[in-house]
Amino acid sequence: MKTNTLMIYKKHILVISFLFGFIALKSQDAEPVYHTFNSTRVINAHSTETLWKKELDFRVGHRFGDIAGAAGGVQSAFGLDNSSDISIGFEYGLTNDLDIGLTRYKGAGPYTQLFEGYAKYKFIRQTSKTPVSLVGIAKVYTTGMNASTDSTSANYFTEYAHRMSYAYQLILARKFSERFSFQIMPTYVHRNFVAFDDANDRIAMGAGFRFQVTKLIGVIGEYHYVLKDDGLAMSEQLKDPIGLGIEFNTGGHVFQVNFTNSRGFSEVQYISATTSDITDGEYRLGFTISRIFKL
């Protein structure tokens, strides 16, 4: 499963350049549409929202253990005793359309001690004349976990490039009304090094929505259909990540409570490594707090 390091970097630089080589299509004299989503995330996935220039978003997230199933139930206080993943990160608006971010995850799935850096650019903003918003995201991950001596393991890292993973996503969203927004998000994840019988590349088609019940409370949901018909053993264990949540917007911050079968936050985890089956009670409570500071 090893790949030539130089080739890996070239490939991803090319993809990033392609994404950010877009010429932003800006409609002149059109009324912009704001708040397609309340936050820069739906649940795990990004939304088309970007931060205002010079805003810093401090985000803390938590995913508990299984609510039901073998690891859940009363004994684990329905998963509250366990933490599948914890995230802490900062995101910053370089311009009104370009965000950068740095997050550290406890990590779930094959990679733990995961660091994520990303850039997110809004190519098109929905306006009175433009029906949709289009956002592109490029992410790079590295893991700080100890290398395994087992050559079939996902963390049998013999060189630094093996610790690297990447995710690219396009998000196409439309705010249909003041209450309802919908987005689709084709996603590509590449891991430089994976366990035996797993795939380096994963492609998924995601969808997310927001239904605003009141000015302050909204229902959010997302689902990713992951392509996994490649005959590999790991692919057969994969499940499509799905989540449903409620968000509270208090003006200064957005508080999200959600239920999802994915154990990790990041694309490299929830697209490539969700094996929890919601029908077996393997879904969990999670929350994210976002606090925005003006720098």
If binding is defined by CB under 8 A, does position 129 make contact with other proteins? no
Site string for other proteins, 229-268 (x = CB under 8 A): ----------------------xx----------------
C-alpha to C-alpha distance for 189 and 272, rounded to whole angstroms:
7
Site for other proteins in 25-44 (CB under 8 A): 32, 34-35
Which burial class, exposed, middle or buried, applies to 87 when counting CB atoms under 10 A from its CB (0-12, 13-18, 19+)? Answer: buried
Contact with other proteins (CB under 8 A): which of 75, 149, 214, 279? 214
Site string for other proteins, 61-80 (x = CB under 8 A): --------------------
Contact with other proteins (CB under 8 A): which of 158, 179, 180, 205? 179
Which residue, 10 or 179, has its beta carbon nearer to other proteins?
179
Report CA-CA distances (Å) from 255 to 37, 159, 289: 13, 40, 5
Alpha helices in the chain (DSSP H): 5-20, 233-237, 267-270
If binding is defined by CB under 8 A, does position 295 make contact with other proteins? yes
Q: Are strands 284-294 and 55-66 parallel, antiparallel or unpaired?
A: antiparallel
Nearest alpha-carbon partner for 42 in 284, 247, 270: 247
Smallest gap, in angstroms, from Cβ of residue 32 to other proteins? 8
Number of residues that bind other proteins (CB under 8 A): 17
What sign has the CA pseudo-torsion 260, 266, 268, 271?
Answer: positive
If binding is defined by CB under 8 A, does position 294 make contact with other proteins? yes
Q: Return the structure tokens found at 120.
A: 């997110």
- Residues of this chain that bind other proteins (CB under 8 A): 32, 34-35, 54, 178-179, 212, 214-216, 251-252, 291-295
